[in-house]
Structure 1
Amino acid sequence: MLQRFKKYGVQLCFLLLTLSGYAQHIPSERVIAIDDILPYLKTSVQKDLGEVSQTGLALHFRTVFASRYFYDWHETDTRFEEYKRLYPKMETYHTARAQDHLDKFDDSTFWKLPFNYKNGTPINAYGLRHLARQHKMVDIAFLYRYENKNPSYIDYYTSQLASLNNALITSSFETINDGNGVYESFRSGYRILNWLQIHNGYLGEAAYTDKNQLTTIATLLQHAAHLYKNNKEFKPGNHQTRGLSALAMLAIILNDFKDADVWYTHAMSLLEEHLKREINEDGFQFERTIHYHQSDIDNYFYVYQLAQKSNMPVSALWEDKLKSLFTTLTKVAYPDGSAPVLSDDTDTPWAEKNDISGTLTLGYLLFDDPAMGHFAKQAVQPKYLWYLSRNQLEGLKSIKATPPETKSYAFTDTGYYIMREGWKTSDKMLIISAGLDKDKPDHQHGDMLGIQAMANEHVVLPNYQVRYSLDDLELFKNSEVKNVALVDNILQGKDYTSNKGGSGFGKFKSLPEPKVLGWLSNESIDLFIGSHDGFEEKGVTYTRQVISVENDFWIVKDNFYAKEAHIYKQQWQGHYTTENGAELLRSNFSNGSGLDIYQLNKVDRVTTSGKRGKQWSTISKEGEASHSFITVLYPYSTYDTRILETDKNPSLKGWSLHNGSIKILSKGNTSIYFNISKAIIDTINIEIPEGADIMTQVNNQELTITLLSGKKVAIIVTQDGIDTNYTLQPATEVTYKIK
């Protein structure tokens, strides 16, 4: 009996030890000693390695990185030479940023406020953010190579990493609760991405010892464990997404560890939840900006790229949603391949376009889509050279490119409506913003129903990129610096507040709620009709109609209805002169093309304001309870195709203008009527008892009537004494057979 007990006791002890080994999870509150790494490896890896020295373990992980990271570290030197050849200006960029970090922070720095920069100036939360992200440590890694591999830069990196690990032991680091946590998901995830690049780049360097390498790996493991522990549930926004992206990357690269499979499954599942919830059905990232849309693409791209390389599972939904992010950029792009500025775009302050070529080059490499290839470049953006394989870089030498098939398009979930002539660089495009994210409108601007437009290779109606740290962020986020309509002194964005983190970012407590009343796009017309409630506190109801007239020009009609008189305004961005009083504004561009803004109804005045080298004009009408601006936005390619200033009723690219009490534009068999109740076309009478804006077309014994107004109306068509009654909804049409 005793012998049997001893036998089973030995087996039980072995089982407990085995279970203990499998249950041994990497701690999140401390960095494991490099001599203790081995027990955390998968059993199969431990068996393969056997009794391995520190040198042998470091060699194993160098082999792991060579096969699992974005590129094989053995080619770092040759890739750096390629980098210098392709991007000669980057040396100045990296050197300046590296020196900025070196000048500000000791190698063994503090990680909890308050403390000072090296020059004695106190560090604020914004400065700590830059330290926590370690993004300029990447520049120092570049400086290492630019300066003939000065080993002091490797020592600086390893010492600063060690200082964070020491701060972790003593709990002397900024915490998550105050909003500026060093281990907060976004900052930790950003730091991991940067440290992985640095680590891989140093792997072939003698100064980066086996101990240094294993310490970095142990530190990355602690970061992964912390991200896993503190991101169990879905939290909206890009902060968690960046952290989960980093967790998935570590799970792929460091898959030899027992916890890695659990990390990967969890990170991919929660990232899929973000894809489901935060990528709208129309393919736009929920924050409605190009900047955050592209930033999200990066988060998913890094993971997808590594998963493909290591043959790790990726669900079909995950892949489809990722592809839709790239496809969206091809639909929203301007004809010259750039993209409009949409709310908090922050890469290039005051710029009037976004560069999307780098992102779509990645999309082309992932999905081999010629429509993405239309935007792709043979040289990727500098940072992406370090995230692509040699085969992918070779593939950019012969890009398959065809223009997208998409022309006018409605992102109905996100609320962007695009009127597009085509894909030649001289073609025209206009975009209308008519959406408000219900969960997190933090990055939205005061531009509800605002428009932007490009024609003849220039942004003729611009919006401007912003930067959180600039003191005029609130101005550039709000309605004065947008192409919108306003009432009295009301701006759309209300109760602006800056965040407590000190970054300068701020948001509005409230923005107008939009309502899309109609959208129609066919061979004859592009038509958008919308409203918002931003002026209801003043007792004013507001709607905006935007009409693309045969790709010749656009008409914007702003309608205000109230019981008392107000000052009604239109804001137009750009540098304008007044060619015929307030009725005709003109902006002209470097190639001789321009934009005329022509008022069909009388207005009172135009005033001009500006900041940061940008200008805008405000057109005003006073003393009326209700008013409509009927505005022709008229791009011209050369001076002799402009609106002729001296003509009272000028021809608009073949459209004749009747500018009496009723405004009518006619060309051939097509007419556009504003505020009419009766019209006669040949032998046909059209009656609209309530009055409305309509377009009529006669073709092949058929009369087509399109309702351009924002509410449904009854229409009576009479021919030969016979009445035919219709009820039309906004942006719908009816066809009447002519007898």
Structure 2
Amino acid sequence: MTFNARFLWLVAGCLAVGEISGTVLHARQTDGVPRKRLMSDVELLAQLSGVQRPEGDVSDVVKKGDSASARRRLADYFSSRKTPRFFFSKDEVKERAREYARLFPKDIVDAQKRAGDFVKAYGADVDWMMPGKDLRGRAHTPNTVRYLARQWEAVNLAIQFYRENENPQILRFLMTQVRDFAADFEAGKVETGDNDVFERFYGGHRIRNWIMMHHLLLASPLYTADDQVLMLKLVLLHGAKLADQSKSFHWGNHQLVGLVALYELSTLFPEFRSAVPWHAQSRKLILEHLEKEIAPDGFQAERSSHYHKLDIANYFLVLQLARLNGETLPPVFHERFRRMFQAMADVAMPNKCMPILQDVSDSLDVRSDRIDDEMSLGALLFENRTFRYFGKNEFPASLYWYFDRNAASRYRSLRPEPPSFTSFALAQTGYYVMRTGWGASDSYLLIDGGLAADKPDHTHGGVLGVIGYALGEVVLPNYPVRYSDISFKVMKNSLAKNVAIVDNVLQGKNWIDNKARTGFGKWGSLPKPAVQYWVSGSEFDYFGASHNGFRDAGVDYSRSVLFLKPDAWLVIDYFKSGSMHSYGQLWQGDYRIDTGKKRAVRESQRGFVELIAAGVQDIEIQEHHAAHASGVRVQKRTNGPDEIATLIYVGKGSQPGRATAAVANSDGLSKYTVHAGAYTWIVELMRKDDAKPSEGGPLLEVSKFKGKVPDAVFVVDGTRLKAGDLDVELSKPASWQLVKGKKNKWVFTLLTGEMNVLTAGSEGKPVRRYDVKPGQPLLLPNQ
């Protein structure tokens, strides 16, 4: 028998003959952990597993039945053991607390203020339920209970405890509040039901924060044995409650937070009998979450930038605890987790932030979702310089306690490298990005072409909506929301998005409030998108999709987005119906309307952005406001099928009003002529359900001119093209481009599909055949 096993057995015997804390013993589950109260000392020691009664006499302390001494010995054992390993050891806490303050003075000040405000507002004797109030007499709301239940400030106060030379008042506050929670729980004075303080998300965050607090406080002799034993009992109570709620897989971040807490506590306290099945249960379900909720392209299933980042924090704790304690995770865990960081880079704007995607509960004034802390983490974990490009200049304070003390120098040694890619598609998730580059003057447009099919709780009514960035700022925003704000329902729907609209029919329907009464809610019905085309080339990008959101109004709808690189997008919304309707486009942002020219302008020191209505006849453009959202609305009223197109033009100078977009429609073919900057584009878009295209005729053909002869031609879903005196033909339909290269020679690139056969020739030159592969440029000879 090992020394640790003999020691724990002796302590168990001592507590068994000592007093039982708590006189009423409720019925226990088979794991031996009561659910309606804290464990007694006897029950706590009965949880110890893997030990046998030693041979020989029992020690004097056991004979005396000294339970206080036994608790001290139990606390000494858990505080002095070297394994399992936490993120740091108690021996380094005091020095690291001083180093933390030296490295991150601003973060210390901010944390100290938040913690101080928390103490003044709530004190140690807390109302953990409704009705209740704080020390200032303010009535509790469901969100107050959620905030209190998660115990965010416990870690900040534990660090401040060392900053103030182990101020006993701070420790007293922390442990008094913990004891207050335990006493109120046993007395039935905590919130239950739909806003239960042991709900997986609330309880999971609370015990994770308390475990971190516990490991910080272990360095101080003021943290008593009774304090430590109390925390062990709370760990087991939370483990039991979390295990009860997670018998099988449930979609979403709430269960995952609880599972990660269960994984953490079962990893760190394996001496307790229940830890073994809890560890197996949490590991199995965490891996199931990862495989089901993290798409192969790396994005989290709820499609929210905020909850994607939250899941990175969850999976990181699992990875780091596994690494520290020699537990092997399967290859799919490492690959999907790495892809989560890559996915953030894939959708990032040139300002190194993600756009606001779906529910992001933050200040209503922000227009970007920062990722620098998360990408700093990815850079360090995977030694990835591209991730480092999006990270902070210096190692973040938020990661300090999770790594060794050399992590900051390893982070600084990574040289940042910007990504080599520009436009990109996360096809499984449904985010499509058109991007010119990564500099401050680069332009960006994201199209939302997906839907969270299994758990759309955080999905907004913005299907096929766009988010635009140019000139160093977000120019076509998606807005953050606040669950508790009266505007939440409006901001989560079409009126706050860059989408098409028919007869004021909004995408989100059948609102469902959450039972916890926190203000959160979700749409019972949202449109289902169908993406038909994503093609990206050096001179053009094209996205084509439809959704069924207007079917009940008798309208079929599709959206085409064409990137005329580098400065313009043409967004074409097509509505097919046999009756009278009002068709429109909503554009968010601060724009000044030029009614005479049917355009709206946003100006800045770097240039301007214009929204130009193509085909001004019967088009109206007017201001649009909805809750915290504002922008412009382009609309027309039509009997039958029609389309609305807007040119988004990014001008680098100071003279808006020169770009134009005109349209002519005939025989199911829409022909747009765009003049913007130094270029002219001719865009021909075929409506295949209405037209009879010529043999080999493409869905889309775009020509880019700087003079009379095209410099580039872009074809989507076609086989034949004539450019000047050059004739080209493919053996099967595909998307491709022709671009003038050196010495004015055409360079052909197949952009989609499989291997194809190209036939090319020009007047007076022999025809040649080539086997062409996607992405491989081919210089055409004999021109």
Q: TM-score range by the shorter chain?
A: 0.7 to 0.9
Change (3 A) 1:46 1:249: farther
Indicate the residue corresponding to 2:781 in structure 1.
none
- Asked if residue 274 in structure 1 is aligned to residue 297 in structure 2, the reply is no
User: Does the residue aligned with 2:413 lie in a helix, a strand or coil?
Assistant: coil
Residues 675 and 691 of structure 1 are in contact (CA less than 8 Å); yes or no, is this contact kept in structure 2?
yes
Which of 255, 268, 277 lines up with 1:253 in the alignment? 268
Match of 2:307 in 1: 292
Confirm or deny that 1:210 pairs with 2:225. Answer: yes
**CA gap 1:587/1:718 in 2 versus in 1, 3 angstroms:** closer
SS of structure 2 residue aligned to 1:306: helix
Matched AA of 1:706? V
Of 36-45 and 302-311, the range deviating more from structure 2: 36-45
Matched, 1:41 2:66: no
* Partner Cα separation in structure 2 for residue 162 and residue 571 of structure 1: 54
1:436 aligns with 2:445: no
Give per-residue Cα distances to partners, 1:75-103, cap 9 Å, x unaligned: 33333333334443445533443344334
**Alpha carbons of structure 1 residues 440 and 571: separation in structure 2 relative to 1, 3 Å:** same
Task: Determine the structure 2 residue equivalent to 1:694.
Answer: 701
Residues 1:113 and 1:631: Cα distance change in structure 2 (over 3 Å) = closer
| Residue deviations 1:222-278 (CA, integer Å, cap 9, x gap) | 211322233121121111100110111112222233333332222111100001111
In structure 2, distance between residues paired with 1:98 and 1:429: 40
Q: What amino acid does structure 1 have at the position aligned with 2:260? A: S
- SS of corresponding position for 1:189: helix
Cα distance in 2 for partners of 1:247, 1:47 equals: 32
- Amino acid paired to 1:499: N
Distance 1:65 1:565, change over 3 A: farther
8 Å CA contact 1:66, 1:72 repeated in 2: no
Contact 2:490 2:627 in 1 (8 A): no
- CA gap of 1:26–1:108, structure 2 versus 1, over 3 A, is same
Gaps of 5+ in 2: 1-15, 17-29, 62-68, 737-751, 763-783
Partner of residue 125, structure 1: 142
Taking structure 1 as reference, are residues 349 and 73 closer, same or farther at Cα in structure 2, changes over 3 Å only?
A: farther
C-alpha distance in 1, partners of 2:53/2:466? 61
Distance 1:246 1:90, change over 3 A: same
Q: Which residue of 2 aligns with 1:63?
A: 80
Q: Measure the CA separation in 2 of the matches of 1:298 and 1:556.
A: 37
Shift of 1:578: 2.6
* 1:364-407 Cα shifts (integer Å, max 9, x gaps): 22111222122122434433322222132331221232222333
Instruction: Decide whether aligned partners of structure 1 residues 691 and 336 sit closer, same or farther in structure 2, where only a CA change above 3 A counts.
Output: closer
Structure-2 separation of matches of 1:604 and 1:668: 25
> In 2, Cα distance between the equivalents of 1:73 and 1:611?
53
- Cα-Cα RMSD: 3.7
Q: How far apart in 1 are the matches of 2:544 and 2:366?
A: 28
Contact 1:517 1:730 in 2 (8 A): no
Q: 1:334 to 1:220 in 2, by over 3 A?
A: same
Shift of residue 643, structure 1, vs aligned partner: 4.8
1:592 aligns with 2:606: yes
Shift in CA distance, 66/541, structure 1 to aligned 2, threshold 3 Å: same
Pairing partner for 1:358 from 370, 373, 392: 373
1:33-68 CA distances to partner (integer Å, 9 max, x unpaired)? 446644433436997999784333322222347972
Asked if residue 224 in structure 1 is aligned to residue 239 in structure 2, the reply is: yes
Q: 1:592 touches 1:637 (CA, 8 Å); kept in 2?
A: yes
Deviation, structure 1 residue 619: 1.3
Are residues 320 and 277 of structure 1, via their aligned partners in 2, closer, same or farther at CA, if it must alter by over 3 Å? Answer: same
Q: Which residue of 2 aligns with 1:31?
A: 38
Q: How does 1:157-176 map to 2 (within 5 A)?
A: 157-175=174-192
8 A contact 2:698–2:716 mirrored in 1: no
AA partner of residue 228 (structure 2): Q
Percent identity among equivalent residues? 30
Match of 2:673 among 660, 664, 676: 664
Q: 1:672 to 1:723 in 2, by over 3 A?
A: closer
Change (3 A) 1:592 1:428: closer
- Contact preservation (8 Å) 1:687, 1:717: no
Corresponding residue number in structure 2 for 1:541? 556
Question: How many angstroms does 1:137 deviate by?
Answer: 3.1
Q: Is the 8 A contact 2:159 2:216 kept in 1?
A: no
What are the ranges of 5 or more consecutive residues in structure 1 without an aligned counterpart? 1-16, 18-22, 651-656, 678-685
Out of 673, 682, 687, the position equivalent to 2:684 is: 673
Distance 1:702 1:668, change over 3 A: closer
Q: Secondary structure at the match of 1:158?
A: helix
Deviation at residue 286 of structure 1 after TM alignment: 0.5
The change in CA–CA distance for 1:704 and 1:92 in structure 2 (over 3 A counts) is: closer
In the TM superposition, what is the alpha-carbon distance from 1:718 to its structure 2 partner?
Answer: 13
Contact 2:698 2:715 in 1 (8 A): no
Name the SS for the 1:155 alignment partner. Answer: helix
Q: 1:658 to 1:540 in 2, by over 3 A?
A: closer
Indicate whether 1:601 and 2:618 are aligned: no
How far off its partner does 1:187 sit?
1.1
Question: Which of 527, 536, 542 is the equivalent residue of 1:527?
Answer: 542
Which residue is equivalent to 1:628? Answer: 643
1:682 is aligned to none
Check whether the contact 1:326–1:363 (CA below 8 A) recurs between aligned residues: yes
Contact kept in structure 2, 1:609 and 1:617, CA below 8 Å: yes
The 3-state SS of whatever aligns with 2:596 is coil
Whether the 8 Å CA contact 1:249–1:306 is kept in 2: the answer is yes
Identify which of 622, 628, 631 aligns with 1:616.
Answer: 631
Question: What is the identity, as a one-letter code, of the residue corresponding to 1:130?
Answer: Y
Map 1:317-396 → 2, pairs under 5 A: 317-396=332-411
Tell me which moved more, 363-372 or 421-430. 421-430
The aligned counterpart of 1:134 is 151
**Counterpart in the other structure of 1:467:** 482
**What amino acid is aligned across from residue 40 of structure 1 in structure 2?**
Q
CA distance change for structure 1 residues 254 and 148 in 2, over 3 Å: closer, same or farther?
same
Counterpart of 1:653?
Answer: none
User: Superposition pairs for residues 394-473 of structure 1, below 5 Å?
Assistant: 394-473=409-488
TM-score when scaled to structure 1?
0.84
Q: Do the aligned residues in 1 keep the contact of 2:613 with 2:619 (CA within 8 Å)?
A: no
Shift of 1:336: 2.2
Aligned to 2:768: none
Letter in 2 for 1:241: L
Amino acid at match of 2:449: A
**2:24 matched to which residue of 1?**
none
Q: Is the 8 A contact 2:673 2:680 kept in 1?
A: no
Number of residues of Structure 1 aligned to a counterpart in Structure 2? 691
Letter in 1 for 2:612: Y
Amino acid across the alignment from 2:650 = P
TM-score when normalising by structure 2: 0.80
Shift of 1:701: 13
Aligned pair 1:54/2:61, yes or no? no
